Structure 1
C-alpha cells in the first residue's frame, strides 16, 4: 500500500470521531421557496439556504420571535407565520429584513404582546400585513402600524377592535386596502381615514356601526358596511366628484334611501335586507321622522349604476320616476318586498336592464308597454301567485332568455288562443331558452304549447294532475335538453321522445307510472330519474333504447320485480352506468308463497330458479290437466255416441 494513502486513511480515522453529521432540515425546499408548515416546530429552523425568498412557517408551535431567529434569512420577501402561538416579538425583529414585503401574523396570540404596549419596530418594506384573528382590542394594532411607510394592504379582521382612533393609521400613510370586518367597532373618530389619500378599498362589515354621517372619502372606490346596525348613511354636500364605485349596505336597519354623493361613479349598490319603506325620500333619520326635511331621490344621479339590490325590504311601491337617472342599470332585484304593482311605460329609463327579479311580492298588477324592457334577458316572477297575465305579455320582451314563473297560478295557452282565455302564451318566443313553470297548478299542457320557442330547459314539475298530451312538446325536438316532470302524479305518459335527439336529462320521479314506453329507437338521454313511481318491470325494448347513451339512472322506491327484469338488472350492473341510489333500490321475489324484498344489487340467479321451477311445474300440471280433460271429453262423447247407435238398432 502506498505510504501517502496509508497516512490519509489514518488521518480520516482520527478526525472522523470529531465530525458531527449535518442536521437535515425537516422543511421542503424548492428553488427559493421553503415550506416548513405544519411540522410542530417550536423554533425557526437554522439549516435553510440563506438565499430563500419565501418562508412558510404556518401551523406550527412557535411562541417567541427573537433577533437571532431570522438573521440568516435577510433576503426573505414573504414570511408566513399564520396559526402559531406567537405571543412575543422582540422589538426591531423585522427591521433587519429589508426586503420583506408580505408578512402574515394571523391567528396567533398577539393580544398578549399588545398588552405589553411595546411597538414592534419599523417595518421597512412590508407592503402587506395580516393581523387577523389575534384578539386585538383597544389601541393594540397601533403598535404594529406606527412605522410602516410602505404598507398598502392591511387585514385586521376577526379581532375585538371597538374604536378607530383618529391617529390609528398615522404611521401607514400609503395604505390602499384596509380590512376591518368582523370586529365590534362602534365608534369611528373624525379624520380616522381622511389622511389616507391612497385608500381605495375599506371593509367595515360585520361590526356595530349605527350610522355614517358626513361621508367624505372622495378617493375611496369600494366601501363595505354590510351587517352592521346602521339606520342612516349620509354623504356630505360637495360639488367634487366621489370615486366610489361599490357600496354595500346590506343587512342593516336603514329605513330610508341613503344620501349618496351628488357626483359619483357608483356602479354597484346593495341595500338588501334593510327596513326600507320608501325610495322617494332620503336624509337624516331624525329629520325624516319629524317630516322637517326630505331629499328627493329623483335628484340623486345614478347614471353609471349597473347593479341595484333592494330585496328583502318593506317596499309597497316603486314609482317609475325613481329610475329616471338609471339609464345604464343592468340588474335590478326587488324581490321579497310588499309590492302590489309594477308598471313600466314605453318611456321607461330601464332600457339597458338585462335581469329583473320581482319574485315573492304581492303583485296583482304587472304591466309592460312596448320597448319598456327592450334588453331584458332574465325575468324572475316566482312566488307571486299570478292567476292571469296579458296573454302576449312575454312577446313584448324581444330578448327574453330565461323565465322563472314558479309558484304562480298560470295556465298555458294553446296554439290558437283569444284574450278571453285567461292564459299565457309561451309559443313564438324565438330567444327563450329556459322556462320554469313548477307549482302552478297546471291543468294541462296543450298540443304544441311551446312551438317556436327553442327551449333548452323546461321545468313542469310539481303540478299534480296535469294532463300532458302526446304532442305537448311538439316543436322542441331539436332544442330541448332538460325536461322535468317530477311530482305530477302521472299514471301514463304517451309522449314519443325518439326524435328528441338533444334530450340529455329527463326527470320522471315522484309520479305513478306503471310502465315506460317513450322511445321507438335509440334514446339520447344521459340522465334518467325514475324514483318514486309504481314500476314493476321495465320493458326489454325500453332498456335496449336507453343503454346506448344512458350514464345516470335513479330507480329507487319502485316495486320492481327481481325475476321479471333481467334486462334492467343487467343494465344496472354495467360499469359505465352510475346508479346513485343503488343502495336503496330494491326489488321483490317470491319465496315460500311470500314476497321478499331485497337490494337489486343482491339479486342472484338462485333467487329466481326456484320460482321458475314452480312456475314450470304449475304449467306442466295445468297442461296435463287440460290434456286429461280433453281425453275424458273425447271418450265420453265416443261412448255416448255408441250407446245412442246401439239403442237405435234395438228399436228398429
Structure 2
C-alpha cells in the first residue's frame, strides 16, 4: 500500500507542474515549448517544469522582469528573438544556471547593465545583434565565464572602454560589426585570452587600433572591412597568431611594406576595393598564401615590378587586375612577366580616361571626382583638390568622405539634401571658417570630423539643423578657447575632441549636460575655473594631459559624479595636496599622473580613493616616497617605474603593500647605493624592524 501511495505521489507532482500555457505548444517528450508569435505581453508565469527549450520569438514583451523564468530552472535554450524587449531587469535570468543558448536579437535594448546576465554561469552562446545598444556597463559579462560566442553586431556602440569584456576567458568568437565604433581603448580586449575571431567591420575606425588588438595573442581571424582608414603604417598589425585579415572596402591609400612584419603567421590578406595605387613586396610574411588586391587602382608598370618578382619567387597567389596602362588594362597580374612591366610610354591620364568610359549608369549619379559605393552608401572624394563642396550626392548616402581637399570656407547650406548622412569627414581641408548653418539639413548627422584644419572660432549657429550630432572632432586646429555657447544647437553631444589646439584656460561650458568624453590633450591650459564643468553630470572621461597645469584642478572636479577616468599626465604639477581627488573619489577608476616631474604626494592626497580604482599610473616622476596605498585594493594595473624611490624605513609600508599584490608594479630603489636598481618588492627592510624594536625598548625604559 505504501509503495502504491509513493508511486501515485511521484507521478502527481509533474502533473501539477507540467501545465502547458493555453497559447503554447508543449512537447513533453523532447521537453520543448513554443509560444512564438502569440501576442504575449509577458513571460508565461507557469509552464512544464522540466522544459529545456523555450521559444518566445515574435511576442511583445518589452520588459523581462526579475525572476521571469523561475518556473523553468532546467532551460538550456531560450529564444527571445524579435520580442520588442527594451529592458532586462536585474535578476531576470538568475534561475537559469543551466542555460547554454540565449537569443536576444532584433529587440530594442539600449543598455546592458552590470546585473543583466546574472545567473547565466553556463551560457555558451549570446546573441544581441540588431538592438539599440549604446552602452555596456563594466562587469556586465563577469559571470559568463564559459561563453564561446558573443554577437553584438548591428547596434549603436561607439566606444569600447578598458576591460569591457572582462570575465569572458573562454570566448572564441566576438562580433562587433555594423556599430559606430571609432574609439577603442588600449585594454578593451585585454581579458580575452582565447579569442579566435573578431569582427569589427562596418564601423567608424579611422586608424588601425594597434595597441588594443596586440593584446589578442590568440586571434586567428580579424575582419576590419568597411572602416574609413586611409593608411596602415609599419608594424601596425602585431598579432602573433593571426592568419586571416580582411581590410576590404575601406579608404586605404597606402600600406607600409612592413605593416605585417610582426604577424608572421598570416596566410590570407584581403585588401580589395580600396584606393591603393602602388604596392611593395611585403616584409616578414613567409606564411602568406593569398593576397586580394582587386578593385584597387594599381597600374602594371615599373613601379610594381619588384612586387611582381616577389610574388613569383614567394609563390603567393595574388588577385590583381591591372588598372593600366592601356595594353594591360584589366589583365591579371599572373598573366604578365616582371620584365614586361615598364614605365614612361603610357601617361597616367590614359588610365583615367579608359576607366571613365566604363562607368556604370549608377556611377553617373555621383559628383565628379567622387567614388560612390552604392552597396555601403558611402561617397569618397578624398584628396581631389576640390575647392567647393560637391553637389549631387546620392540621397541615401550615409557617409561622405571629403578629406584632404582645399575648402577654406564651408558656406551655409552646403549639405541641405543630406538628411541620411550619419558620418561626415572634413579632415585636412584647410578650413578656416564654418558659416552659420553650414550643416543645415543634416538632421541625422552623428559624427563630424573637422580635425587638422585652421579653425580658430565657431559661431553657435554653425551646428543649427544638426541636433543629433554626438561626436565632434575639432582636434589639431587653432582654437585658443573653447567657443562660448558652442553647445546651444548640440543637445545630444557625447564626445568632444579638442586635442592639440592652443586653448589656455577653461571657463563655463554651458549646454554640455550630456557630454561623456572631453579630450583636451596637448593644449596650453594653465587654469581651470571652478565652474568650468558645472552641470556636466554625465562626464565620464576627462583628458587634461600634456598641458600647463601646476596643480590638480580639484575645485573644478566638483559636480562630476560619473567621472571614471582622469588624465593629468605631462603637466608640470610638482605637488599633489591633501584631498586632491576627493570630489570624484566615488566614481574614479582610472587615474594618470605619469611624466609630470612629481616631487611630492601628500599623505592624504588619495583620501577617498580606494577599491574603485582599477588603474593608476605614476611612472616617470621624481618621487622618493609615496603615502599609504593600502586602500587601493581593487587595482588591476599600476605603474610606478622610473621614480627614484628611497628604500629606507619611510618606504616600508609601500614595500609591504607591493608584496601583497599579484600585479606588476615596476617600482625600483634609487637610494641607498647598495640597493640601487633593486625592485622595491625584493628590497630588504630588516633594519627597520630592528629600529622599531629598539625604539619600543627605550620607551619602556
The normalised TM-score by structure 1 is 0.50
Larger RCO (alpha carbons 8 Å, 6+ apart): 1
Larger Rg: 1
The normalised TM-score by structure 2 is 0.46
